Amino acid sequence: MATTNPIQIQKYLKGVTYPASRDDLISQAEKQGADDEILELLARLDDQEHETPAEVSKAIGKLK
């Protein structure tokens, strides 16, 4: 997952309405054409509501 960065991830989350659940994020990323690496990373997030894109980036940073 070394090639994935927060800017790439946010590109695939464009259009998400916050707060958003993990499933909301995955669904939107799929619609935006995210690859399996990004979808797997999003699937590893805690199942909680994320209030902002920055919060999502922070949560993803903790996974790495």
Q: What is the pLDDT of residues 29-55, one digit of tens each?
A: 999 999 999 999 999 999 999 999 999
Cα separations in angstroms, 17 against 2, 4, 21, 26, 28 = 27, 22, 10, 13, 10
Question: Per-residue pLDDT for 4 more than 90?
Answer: no
**Res 7: pLDDT:** 86
Q: What is the mean pLDDT of the chain?
A: 92
Q: What is the pLDDT of residue 10?
A: 94
> Is residue 1 very low, low, confident or very high in pLDDT (cuts 50, 70, 90)?
very low
